[in-house]
Chain A
Amino acid sequence: MNTTKTASAKIFSKRSKRGESISPGVDALKRLLKNRMAVIGGSIILIMLILAIFAPFIAPKHYSEGDLELNYATPGEGFILGADFMGRDLLSRLIYGTRISLTIAFLGALTSFVIGIVYGTISGYIGGKVDNIMMRVVDIIYAFPTLLLIILLMVVFKTSLSPVSQGMLIKVMVAVDNYFGGLFFIMIGIGMTSWVGIARIARGMTLSLRETDYVQAARAVGAKNLRLIFKHIMPNLLGPLIISVTFQIPRFIATEAFLSFIGLGVDPPTPSWGMMISEGYKTMRSYPHLALYPGIALALIMLAFNFLGDGLRDALDPKLKQ
């Protein structure tokens, strides 16, 4: 990390010597790299990303490979961190577990961001009756207790959408879900509920940006609607929306862990940290590490995204930092 820091610092000093202007993006990145906590958070995420991508090469065993005669093996004897109740290697399951949490983190953020920005910008840009109706929909979803809605959806997904049910779409969805070990429906549940906050911010900002002089000027010289939206309005939304989405990420990760903990999340043997904790706490007295290690991994990734979120907020919106 240190080398990137100095390398980027060099670039910046060179630029400023030549008297060139620094773009807002580079400026923000510079501020981000100066923030020690954000750099630590980013590094943790990067390490976990590497673990997730190269899990088959890094993990000593496959996550579902168990030996019932070796269940609850203590750390050391062939298992670096010990084995769980089915004799599966804990370390390998922890490493594969990064895949679940990071997939939820990035896909959740992407879904929330894309739906939110498109919905919010359209609603704010068109305005009038359309805006009114679109925002009532948002209000209703907003008034819902999000997690309870996800729980209800998951109960239905888990029980009613079996492969025998009719309909091509459902069959495809169930097949996809099975392929991803139950992750797909969690994504849908999170995706359906998380975009409304983003949509509200996007809509509010679009409303005020639409009336600004530079947008009016662009319109006066003949810019079309799409150009106005994509070229003049959306770039201004990116910063604040990226901050909001980053702050949503720890919640996505916690939601997946929670669902898997109560048995509505991923399907076994998919190694979700939440499910590993729920399997592990039952044997706390004898094998506390089975619940503690996945718990620490979960806290670590949430901490990393919180650090990064704080850093991004300070870097992208220096006004907020007092």
Chain B
Amino acid sequence: MISYIIRRILWTIPTLLIIALITFLLMHAIPGGPFTGPDISHLPDEVLKNMEDFYHLNDSLFKQFTEYIWNLLQGDLGPSYAERGKTVNEIIAQHLPISATLGVMSLLVAMGIGIPLGISSALKQNSFRDYFGMFVAVLGVSIPAMTLGPLLIWVFALKLNILPVARWGTFKQAILPVFTLGIGNAAILARLTRASMLQVIREDYIRTARAKGVVERRITVHHSLKNALIPVVTILGPLLAGLITGSMVVEQIFAIPGLGKFFVSSVLGRNYPVIMGTVLIFAVFLIVANLLVDIVYGWLDPRIRNK
């Protein structure tokens, strides 16, 4: 188990390095410096040179890259070119907690809805309940956040007038964005839980438990559910990836000052260091999450760990 974890952790190092390299190269593939371009008023040559010297933009690419990596290792993502005197670190520290809160809440909602729905469908396979549950799940998988967000706003904020349209801060304001972000994942979890549950309840040990006279309820909770949820854990990694992109849309629609919204405005404002820094943070976050998921998976299922 320990060697498995170490191997996985070691694998993340080259992956992160390559991501950093690609990020860096792409940043420099953009022609012109950050202070030249059609959107920016023309600067005197001396000022331009001073600014480029200040940000070390005239050094060799190799030197710039090693410096970028060195700063990165110390947790420094560099300055933002748009907000004077603000670093990318400060921007991330300010906006990331909001996105993280939104993401965790929506994941809890997704698990709270998806897993029970999947179990209830699997326990009564091919019944009306099953078909209805799975129809709702396909619907949930197919409706992207950018459709659901405006739809929920229209119904609950504009027509029924019971929830606020946008912004962030109070519990009531959190409900619509959290559900917008959570429902798609709830649907994915429901489909997966059902499929995995159906496989498990056909296993011999379930039949054995039933033959021993274990109460049906106990079989569901202790025997089948425990094993059925193992594959569900693996999907949490990819789900997180979906959360990041989803948050970009949801934060934009609901005017939530999270990292996703900030990312979108940086894209529109061509603020390259912020774009690259944010992408890098998202990538690290995803890779660590996937690593954790794999470790938990190996811990839950001894057959994987011993391979």
Residues of A within 8 A of B (CB): 37, 140, 143-149, 151-153, 155-156, 159-160, 162, 165, 250, 254, 257-258, 261-264, 274, 277-278, 280-281, 284-285, 288, 291-292, 295-296, 298-299, 302-303, 306-307, 310, 322
Query: In the bound complex, do residue B146 and residue A274 qualify as a contact, i.e. CB atoms below 8 Å apart?
Result: yes
Q: List B contacts of A288 (CB < 8 A).
A: 150, 153-154, 158
Interface of A is mostly: helix
> In the complex, what residue of chain A is closest to B30 when comparing beta carbons?
A160
Q: List B contacts of A322 (CB < 8 A).
A: 125, 198-199, 202
Query: In the bound complex, do residue B26 and residue A152 qualify as a contact, i.e. CB atoms below 8 Å apart?
Result: yes
**Closest-CB distance, B29 to chain A (whole angstroms):** 5
Knowing A151-B279, A263-B267, the reply to whether A144 touches B146 (Cβ < 8 A) is: no
Other contacts beyond A159-B30, A262-B249: 20, CB < 8 A: A37-B138, A143-B11, A145-B283, A148-B283, A152-B276, A155-B267, A156-B30, A160-B31, A165-B31, A257-B144, A258-B144, A263-B267, A285-B158, A291-B150, A292-B151, A295-B144, A299-B142, A303-B138, A303-B142, A306-B141
Q: List A contacts of B142 (CB < 8 A).
A: 250, 299, 302-303, 306
Report the Cα distance A161→B23, complex, angstroms: 17
Query: In the bound complex, do residue B22 and residue A152 qualify as a contact, i.e. CB atoms below 8 Å apart?
Result: yes
> In the complex, what residue of chain A is closest to B263 when comparing beta carbons?
A262
Contact of B146 among A147, A151, A298 (CB under 8 A): A298
Knowing A145-B282, A159-B270, A262-B252, the reply to whether A285 touches B165 (Cβ < 8 A) is: yes
Knowing A145-B241, A307-B138, the reply to whether A284 touches B144 (Cβ < 8 A) is: no
Report the Cα distance A285→B125, complex, angstroms: 43
Q: List B contacts of A155 (CB < 8 A).
A: 26, 30, 267, 272, 275
Query: In the bound complex, do residue A281 and residue B15 qualify as a contact, i.e. CB atoms below 8 Å apart?
Result: no
Q: Mark B232-245, 1 if CB is under 8 A from A, else 0.
A: 00000000010011
Chain B 185-213 interface residues, beta-carbon cutoff 8 Å to A: 198-199, 202
> In the complex, what residue of chain A is closest to B18 when comparing beta carbons?
A140
**Closest-CB distance, B302 to chain A (whole angstroms):** 24
Contact of B147 among A143, A145, A146, A299 (CB under 8 A): A299
Report the Cα distance A264→B268, complex, angstroms: 8
The yes or no answer to B139 lying at the interface (CB within 8 A) is: yes
The yes or no answer to B253 lying at the interface (CB within 8 A) is: yes
Report the Cα distance A297→B29, complex, angstroms: 37
The yes or no answer to B9 lying at the interface (CB within 8 A) is: no
Q: List B contacts of A140 (CB < 8 A).
A: 14-15, 18
Query: In the bound complex, do residue A280 and residue B283 qualify as a contact, i.e. CB atoms below 8 Å apart?
Result: no
Contact of B150 among A149, A250, A277 (CB under 8 A): A277
**Closest-CB distance, B140 to chain A (whole angstroms):** 10
Query: In the bound complex, do residue B264 and residue A262 qualify as a contact, i.e. CB atoms below 8 Å apart?
Result: yes
Q: List B contacts of A37 (CB < 8 A).
A: 138
The yes or no answer to B143 lying at the interface (CB within 8 A) is: yes
Report the Cα distance A258→B153, complex, angstroms: 19
Knowing A146-B241, A277-B150, the reply to whether A262 touches B29 (Cβ < 8 A) is: no
Q: List 22 A-B contacts (CB under 8 A).
A: A140-B15, A145-B244, A145-B282, A147-B244, A147-B245, A148-B279, A152-B276, A155-B26, A250-B141, A258-B248, A261-B252, A262-B263, A263-B264, A263-B268, A280-B150, A281-B149, A281-B153, A281-B253, A288-B154, A295-B146, A298-B146, A299-B142
Report the Cα distance A250→B141, complex, angstroms: 9
The yes or no answer to B219 lying at the interface (CB within 8 A) is: no
Report the Cα distance A285→B143, complex, angstroms: 22
The yes or no answer to B229 lying at the interface (CB within 8 A) is: no
Report the Cα distance A322→B202, complex, angstroms: 10
Query: In the bound complex, do residue B149 and residue A303 qualify as a contact, i.e. CB atoms below 8 Å apart?
Result: no
The 6 A-B pairs with the shortest beta carbon distances in the complex, nearest first, are A295-B147, A303-B142, A291-B150, A302-B142, A299-B143, A160-B30
**Closest-CB distance, A235 to chain B (whole angstroms):** 28
The yes or no answer to B286 lying at the interface (CB within 8 A) is: yes
The yes or no answer to B19 lying at the interface (CB within 8 A) is: yes
Residues of B within 8 A of A (CB): 11, 14-15, 18-19, 22-23, 26, 29-31, 125, 138-139, 141-144, 146-151, 153-154, 158, 165, 198-199, 202, 241, 244-245, 248-249, 252-253, 263-264, 267-268, 270, 272, 275-276, 279, 282-283, 286-287
> In the complex, what residue of chain B is closest to A298 when comparing beta carbons?
B147
Report the Cα distance A25→B146, complex, angstroms: 38
> In the complex, what residue of chain B is closest to A305 when comparing beta carbons?
B142
Report the Cα distance A151→B282, complex, angstroms: 12
Query: In the bound complex, do residue B151 and residue A295 qualify as a contact, i.e. CB atoms below 8 Å apart?
Result: yes
Q: List B contacts of A257 (CB < 8 A).
A: 144, 146
Query: In the bound complex, do residue B267 and residue A152 qualify as a contact, i.e. CB atoms below 8 Å apart?
Result: no
Report the Cα distance A280→B154, complex, angstroms: 12
Report the Cα distance A307→B134, complex, angstroms: 11
Query: In the bound complex, do residue A277 and residue B146 qualify as a contact, i.e. CB atoms below 8 Å apart?
Result: yes
**Closest-CB distance, B65 to chain A (whole angstroms):** 16
Q: List B contacts of A278 (CB < 8 A).
A: 146, 252
Report the Cα distance A280→B248, complex, angstroms: 16
Report the Cα distance A288→B151, complex, angstroms: 9
Query: In the bound complex, do residue A296 and residue B26 qualify as a contact, i.e. CB atoms below 8 Å apart?
Result: no
Among B139, B148, B153, B165, find the residue whose CB has the most chain A CB atoms closer than 10 A: B153
Query: In the bound complex, do residue B245 and residue A258 qualify as a contact, i.e. CB atoms below 8 Å apart?
Result: yes
Q: List A contacts of B158 (CB < 8 A).
A: 284-285, 288
**Closest-CB distance, B186 to chain A (whole angstroms):** 15
Report the Cα distance A263→B146, complex, angstroms: 14
Knowing A148-B282, A152-B23, the reply to whether A143 touches B146 (Cβ < 8 A) is: no
Query: In the bound complex, do residue A145 and residue B286 qualify as a contact, i.e. CB atoms below 8 Å apart?
Result: yes
